[in-house]
């Protein structure tokens, strides 16, 4: 069974600071997704990472993937209040037979002024 673990699960930080969210997964996967969810809202796609060493950046967010370590990171640079949300990583199982995404429990990020 594919397991996806995120840490930390809760993060409170001040504006202007940098921090990293980690996503570990338990078995081979050929793609990893990062989503953002605001309270009571749907999930917004942030990044899709397809290969080892992939790095993508959008504004203050940067995501990377190490398939050998089965680890993805989401790095936040100079955080601003608008980035407060829950961030999920999700993995597509590449072993066949299961077509849905497996999600981590999410990281609740609160950015304080």
Partner 1 sequence: NAGVMQNPRHLVRRRGQEARLRCSPMKGHSHVYWYRQLPEEGLKFMVYLQKENIIDESGMPKERFSAEFPKEGPSILRIQQVVRGDSAAYFCASSPRTSKNIQYFGAGTRLSVL
Site string for partner 1, 10-49 (x = CB under 8 A): --------------------xx-x-x-----xxxxx--x-
Interface of this chain with partner 1, residues 75 to 94, rule: CB under 8 A: 88, 90, 92
* Distance (Å, whole) CA 60 – CA 103: 23
Judged by CB under 8 A, the residue of 25, 104, 109, 111 near partner 1 is 104
**Three-class secondary structure of residue 81 per DSSP:** helix
- Does position 4 interact with partner 1 (CB under 8 A)? The reply is yes
**H helices within the chain, ranges in order?**
none
DSSP secondary structure letter of residue 40: T
């Amino acid at each position: 069974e594919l397991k996806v673990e995120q840490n930390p699960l809760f993060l409170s930080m001040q504006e202007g600071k940098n921090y990293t969210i980690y996503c570990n997964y338990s078995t081979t996967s050929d793609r990893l997704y990062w989503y953002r969810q605001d309270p009571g809202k749907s999930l917004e796609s942030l990044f899709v990472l397809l290969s080892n060493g992939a790095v993508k950046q959008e504004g203050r967010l940067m995501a990377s993937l190490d398939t050998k370590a089965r680890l993805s990171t989401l790095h936040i640079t100079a955080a601003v209040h608008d980035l407060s949300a829950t961030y999920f990583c999700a993995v597509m199982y590449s072993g066949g037979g299961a077509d849905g995404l497996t999600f981590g429990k999410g990281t609740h990020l609160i950015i304080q002024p």
